[in-house]
Structure formats: C-alpha cells, structure tokens
A and B are shown apart, each in its own frame.
Chain A
Amino acid sequence: MSFVKGLKCKECGEEYPKEPLHVCETCFGPLEAAYNYDEIKKVLTRDEIEKRERSIWRYKELLPVDAAPAVGRSVGYTPLIKADNLARTLGVKEIYVKNDGVCYPTLSFKDRVVSVALSKAKEFGFRTAACASTGNLANAVAALSIEGGLESFIFIPYNLEQAKIIGTTIYGANLIGVKGAYDDVNRLCSEVAGKYGWGFVNINLRPYYSEGSKSLAFEMMEQLGWRAPKHVVVPMASGSLLTKVWKAIKEFEMLGIVPENGTSIYGAQATGCSPITTALKNKWEIFKPVKPDTIAKSLAIGTPADGFYAMNVMKESGGWGEDASDPEIIAGIKLLAETEGIFTETAGGVTMAVTKKLIEQGAIPKNETIVMCITGNGLKTQEAIADSVAQPHIIEAHLEDFEELYSKIKNQEEKGGTQDAVSSHTHTA
C-alpha cells in the first residue's frame, strides 16, 4: 500500500495528486511529498527496519515510491565512521563521518536521490531520464538509468572535472556540455523539460528525488544506535539536502523511532559561492544571486532554490552556517585524509573546513556528538588538489639509492615532522 497522500505546496499548502509536477500553479512554490504518518506509525518500527536489507529501501514507507523499487535496489547504507583521530586533532569528544563518498554505484549521495527519482520515473512510465548537473548527479543518472532500462540525457556546465565527464559517458549517456554555469544549465533544462516528455530528476521529479536524501539521515540515526546526534554539518548547494536531513530527524522523532535530542543543523558553503551563508550572516530574508567562483564545483549553485528553507532550518534548529575559501577547502580535504584515511571531493573539503571553523568559533561545542555529512569521493575532483599534494620520489632501481633516500626522509621527519618531509619530496627526485 502507499503511504504517500500526494504532493503539497510548501508555500501556500495547495494539494496536488502524485504526478510529475514540481511547482505550485498558484504561487510557484515548490511541491513536497505528503505522507500518512498515522499509517506509517503502525508498521515502521526499529525491529521491522533491522530485519530488512541494508539499502535505502529499509525505510521505504518514508520514501515517495508506491510500487516495488525498480532502480537502485542496492543503494545506500554507507559507513558511519567514529573519527577518533580527527576528534583528537579538533579537540572534540565525539565526531562521526557519514561517508557517502563510497555510496554505490557512483560514489556520491546522489545515488540515493536518483534511485528514488528513477523508481518513480518507471512508475510514471517515462522512457527517458534527464537532469541538470554539476557532475555527481550526472554520474548517478547515467549509471542508474542502465538498471532502469532508461535512455538518458544529461546537461552539465562544459568546464566540469574530467572524471565526472568520463564517469557519465562510460554508461552510454547523452552528455551535453552547456557554455555557462550551473544556473544557466538549469534554466535551459527547465525549458527542455517543458517541451520534451522526459523525467527530469531535478525538475519535474524533484518532489520525489529530493526525498531520497532523507535516507542518509535515517541511516545516520540508526548507525548511532537509534539516536539523533546533537550537531550535524551538511554541505549546501541549493540547500535541499540540509532541509531533508532535518525532515528525516523530525520524522523519526515524531514516529517514536528515536527520542528527541534537540539536534542543531549547520550548513557549509564555499566562500566563492555562498549565497545562503551570506544571507544568514547578514540577516537577509532574500538571496543575492552570485556567479560561482570556487573549486567546489558540486556546490556551485548561485541561485539556491531551497536556500530560504535551509536558512530557516539552521535558525530554527539553533545551528549556524559558515563558508570556506579554496585554500581552506584543500586543507580540509587533506585533514580528513591524513586523520581518517578518507579521501573526499571538494564538497567534503568544504564540510570539513566549515566544521573545523564552527568548532573554533565555539558555534559547535566540543563535548557533544557531531556528525559530518561527507557526500562525495575525492577521486572525482583530483584536478582541484593535484598541485597541493606530494609527488613520488623518483630513484634508480638500486638498493643504495633507496637507502640514501630513506635516511633523507627520516632526517627530515626528525627535523620538521612528516609534513615537511612530504612537502620537500619534489626536491629529492
């Protein structure tokens, strides 16, 4: 049976049937899936969830799909890592990394949302999947369209990272590089979506697609031992993920699956594209659109569609928002790699850098549970840090050459610690 009543406008409350719609006809507000929580409460319990397979579908009553899921059947249930080395470095008691950088199959949290969107697309009878993307979404739509037997058309800004391009076309997707920033791509796509009968995951399927994000937070709470953390840091592009993390926590609390814990939500942006944190810090009710200029391309959305709601969540939950410059993002990527052995993409560098900043500012206390949402894999954005990491030591295939190098490395470690040894590697070649 279906637990989704229909769609409802977040602004004026007007109700709509379950159709591929995303904007309210009256006020242009975004539509959102509305659930029958009384019925869900009768069936969804901790015991029931624990019996099910480890994928996003173990929370299926809280996802807007009516039929058995047709796409992304193995997606989700990524590790929640207790990051003790990082905790020591930051001087905090308890910090966790929810690592969607290893999400199946395309190594970002977009696998979650696309699984829900394309399962719904199959229900609606679409034959073609499409999206506007900054890269991770492109990879997920291209790969998961294969499982769904769908043709795919994918629109990206033309200057994306090489790994994100190859990670799309390898699946046989039609990839269109648009001369412009993400916001230009998105504008074009809203025109294409109006003209072709395609399932655009982030346009006409958006109310379904965005709900998939909740699975990240459901897992986080289950993996914490059925509790909500005190503090969660979430990266923001449009702001949608942040609002859905909040919604998921509120749903689990309302259904009695976890006790209320007064969770505060913090948003992270790149300084080169920070319309939401800028509005938050300046107490604006509105957003000044920006032309993005940051290495964190997956967060480079200059006109954030859910910015207003994300800002409300940060304020209402007692959280806050911050942004990180490009050098801080790179330092964040390195910090997570060197303390926890997790290589995240630039968006994860933003989250790491902002978490550190918020702790240093005292916005996040040091003695309470913190979770960082790491949403993508570092192998996809290698260009961004290629000049900031060490190169190999090149030697002849002689034992004495290695021994000479080894003593040099050890000497440098004694003098200045491993960091200096790493940065001087290029000279030893």
Chain B
Amino acid sequence: MPSVRIPTPLRKLTAEKDEVSVSAANVGELIETLESQFPGIKNRLCDESGNLRRFINLYVNNEDIRFLNGKETSLKEEDVVSIIPAIAGGL
C-alpha cells in the first residue's frame, strides 16, 4: 500500500501518527480513504469544491502532483505520498 507522511499540524487528526498506509489507486481516492479513517482531514486538504488548497502541497515520491496528474495521479504499492504545507518566509 502507498504510505502517506503526515505533517505536524495534521497529526491531531491521525492520533499523532506521522506515517500511515492507505490503499488507493490514485491521489483522489487516497484523500477519500484518509477522510474515512481520519474524519476532518479532507477539509484541511481541500476547499469546498474539492480542489487541493493552495497552500497544501502533495508530493508523490518527491514530485508535486500539480506537475503530475493532479488528483488523477496514479499510485503504486511502494509510492510515498508527502503532505507538506507551503512554508511562508523570505521577502
């Protein structure tokens, strides 16, 4: 199963787990499955229309899904998905 790295601000929802395994064929499915296991997490990742929030980055094996296939990006067994809130900084 693909594994998902959970950032600190979202660990309240995952009982403090920093990595969870989720069975899903693509990123969209992965978000739905995460929501069924950890209710409330979808609202943190996506806006009302279901689009990924602007300041949330999802990486599949270190590649931003915005430069892959978005939520249609397919997942393989050994893939690692990282959820990374954008870091504000610099001027």
What is the 8 Å Cβ interface bit string for chain B, positions 54-65, against chain A (1 contact, 0 not)? 111000000010
CA distance A301 to B44 in the complex (A): 26
| Across-interface contacts of A182 in B (CB, < 8 A) | 90
Contacts from B to A (Cβ < 8 Å)? 8-9, 43-44, 47, 53-56, 64, 66-67, 85-91
Residue of A nearest to B91 (CB): A240
Contacts from A to B (Cβ < 8 Å)? 11-12, 22-23, 25-30, 110, 113, 132, 134, 137, 182-183, 186-187, 189-190, 194, 202-203, 206, 210, 213, 237-238, 240-241, 286, 288-289, 301, 303-306, 308
| Across-interface contacts of A26 in B (CB, < 8 A) | 43-44
| Across-interface contacts of A203 in B (CB, < 8 A) | 88-89
A189 touches B89 (CB 8 A): yes
B55 touches A22 (CB 8 A): no
Q: Of the candidates A194, A288, A301, A308, which one forms a contact with B90 in the assembled complex, judged by CB atoms under 8 Å apart? A: A301
Residue among B43, B53, B64 with the most chain A CB within 10 A?
B53
CB distance from A77 to the nearest CB of B (A): 20
A305 touches B90 (CB 8 A): yes
CA distance A137 to B66 in the complex (A): 32
| Across-interface contacts of A27 in B (CB, < 8 A) | 44, 47, 53, 55-56
Residue of B nearest to A29 (CB): B55
CA distance A113 to B55 in the complex (A): 24
A137 touches B86 (CB 8 A): no
Known: A26-B44, A27-B47, A289-B64. A186 touches B87 (CB 8 A): yes
B66 touches A286 (CB 8 A): yes
CA distance A289 to B89 in the complex (A): 14
A241 touches B86 (CB 8 A): no
| Across-interface contacts of A11 in B (CB, < 8 A) | 53-55
Please, could you name 27 A-B residue pairs with CB atoms under 8 Å apart, sorted by A?
Answer: A11-B54, A11-B55, A22-B88, A23-B88, A25-B9, A26-B43, A26-B44, A27-B47, A27-B53, A30-B55, A132-B90, A182-B90, A186-B87, A190-B89, A194-B8, A202-B89, A202-B90, A203-B89, A237-B90, A238-B89, A240-B91, A241-B91, A288-B67, A301-B89, A303-B86, A305-B89, A305-B90
